[in-house]
């Protein structure tokens, strides 16, 4: 799944570069690439390019809000472990969701990106410290590899396989920023190569994910929790500090991730507002309503093991596994003159189209079946 996601990210970058060259522009974002790709695709797609751009923008907005909801549930889970160590009282998860939601008000009301940037840097530092700590902890005193099952079977637990795939898709939440990074690079042409920066970054990411998954399950087996941070002991000060750092990292992540959807929603509303007072304070109202929605949603479904696959299957899958191959299919749909002049190139061109359509259908099946299974799990838990 990691390598498939990497291929789709490189496909997205390639689509952006092809469209920039064709349109003679220097940069395009995710939404524009998809819209322009539809406008040159099959006849049935050309009349709906604007609606497609709106749909992708909505999915990107929902995805960012969904990631924030998961971050809130994660922070609440860490607080649920830490607070009883000091006060002795064990509370349910929802009070911690409310507590963290209230704490988010200052950073959630920050409308200037320059003020958020230092917090994002601090969050990345905290995440790096936590990652190193988790890896060194799970790799100490590892049991024998024969102590855990190597394969649990697919036929008996197909629902868990779908949930696992959805969780993986949640982890590729950064695909929405891939083109933003490319647009700010001095040498854009090298970014999307098979040995470029994007492939290198994804290779490191996939390797870390694989190592944490393998050694984490080898260490904890069936006791593995939705986040490996929750498996760290609570009776040692250092590991308590790591959980605090993760809470701070999630705090900054929510503030940074919330910035884009709040701006998008407010800009859509601002064009229809004439009152000076609403224009002055409207964005703060929008941010407050979004944070209220996120907190209420996290209260309704506070368990991250239920939220992660839902957001991953519904948003992460569509952005990472559905739209990139669909864009490339649209771009390749009408061959250029060089392709038409060679029989081999025509055959190769058709094979490529079939390949990307297959990838699109595979990603679409992940999205649909993964979302259905994630919703059914929530209904079974709370229904």
Section 164-181 average pLDDT: 81
> When comparing pLDDT for 103 and 179, which is higher?
103
- What are the boundaries of each domain within the chain? 2-382
- What's the pLDDT score for residue 365? 92
2-382 CATH, one of 3.40.50.1970, 3.20.20.70, 3.30.9.10, 1.20.1740.10: 1.20.1740.10
Distance CA 87, CA 276 (A): 48
pLDDT at 76: 93
When computed from its CA atoms, the radius of gyration of the chain, rounded to whole angstroms, is 22
pLDDT > 90? residue 199:
no
What are the residues whose beta carbons fall under 8 Å from the beta carbon of 371, sequence distance 6 or more? 166, 310, 313, 314, 317
Q: Using pLDDT thresholds of 50, 70 and 90, give the confidence band for residue 383.
A: low
Q: Who's near 256: CB < 8 A, 6+ residues apart?
A: 116, 119, 120, 123
Question: What is the number of residues in the chain?
Answer: 383
Do 317 and 363 contact (CB within 8 A), yes or no? yes
The predicted pLDDT at position 294 comes to 94
Those residues with Cβ within 8 angstroms of residue 205's Cβ, 6 or more apart along the chain or in another chain:
2
Rounded Cα–Cα distance for residues 189 and 187 (Å): 6
pTM: 0.90
- How many beta carbons lie within 10 A of that of residue 328, not counting itself? 24
- Mean pLDDT computed over 270-298: 85
**Is residue 12 helix, strand or coil?**
helix
């Amino acid at each position: 799944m990691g390598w498939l996601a990497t291929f789709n990210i490189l496909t997205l970058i390639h689509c952006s570069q092809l469209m920039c060259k064709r349109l003679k522009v220097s940069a395009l974002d995710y939404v524009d690439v998809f819209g322009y790709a539809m406008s040159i695709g099959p006849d049935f797609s050309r009349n709906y390019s604007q609606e497609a751009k709106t749909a992708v923008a909505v999915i990107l907005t929902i995805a960012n809000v969904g990631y924030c909801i998961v971050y809130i549930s994660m922070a609440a889970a860490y607080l649920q472990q830490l607070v009883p160590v000091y006060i002795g009282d064990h509370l349910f998860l929802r009070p911690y969701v409310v507590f963290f939601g209230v704490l988010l008000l200052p950073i959630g009301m920050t409308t200037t990106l320059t003020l958020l940037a230092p917090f994002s840097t601090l969050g990345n530092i905290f995440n790096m410290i936590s990652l190193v700590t988790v890896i060194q902890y799970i790799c100490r005193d590892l049991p024998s590899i024969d102590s855990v099952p190597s394969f649990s079977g697919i036929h008996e637990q197909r629902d868990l396989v779908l949930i696992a795939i959805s969780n993986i898709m949640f982890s590729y939440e950064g695909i929405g920023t891939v083109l933003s990074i490319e647009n700010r690079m001095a040498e854009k042409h090298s970014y999307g190569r098979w040995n470029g920066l994007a492939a290198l970054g994804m290779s490191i990411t996939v390797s870390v994910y694989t190592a944490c998954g393998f050694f984490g399950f080898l260490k904890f087996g069936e006791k593995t929790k939705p986040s490996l941070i929750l498996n760290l002991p609570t009776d040692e000060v250092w590991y308590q500090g790591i959980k605090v750092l993760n809470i701070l990292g999630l705090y900054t992540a929510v503030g940074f991730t919330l910035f884009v959807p709040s701006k998008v929603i407010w800009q859509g509303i601002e064009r229809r507002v004439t009152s000076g007072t609403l224009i002055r304070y409207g964005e703060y109202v929008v941010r407050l309503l979004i944070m209220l929605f996120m907190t209420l949603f996290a209260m309704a479904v506070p368990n991250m093991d239920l939220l992660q696959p839902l957001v991953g299957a519904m948003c992460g899958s569509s952005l990472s596994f559905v739209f990139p191959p669909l864009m490339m299919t649209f771009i390749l749909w009408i061959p250029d003159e060089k392709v038409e002049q060679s029989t081999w190139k025509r055959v190769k061109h058709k094979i490529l189209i079939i390949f990307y359509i297959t990838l699109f259908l595979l990603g679409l099946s992940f999205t649909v079946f993964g979302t259905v299974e994630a919703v059914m799990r929530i209904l079974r838990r709370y229904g």
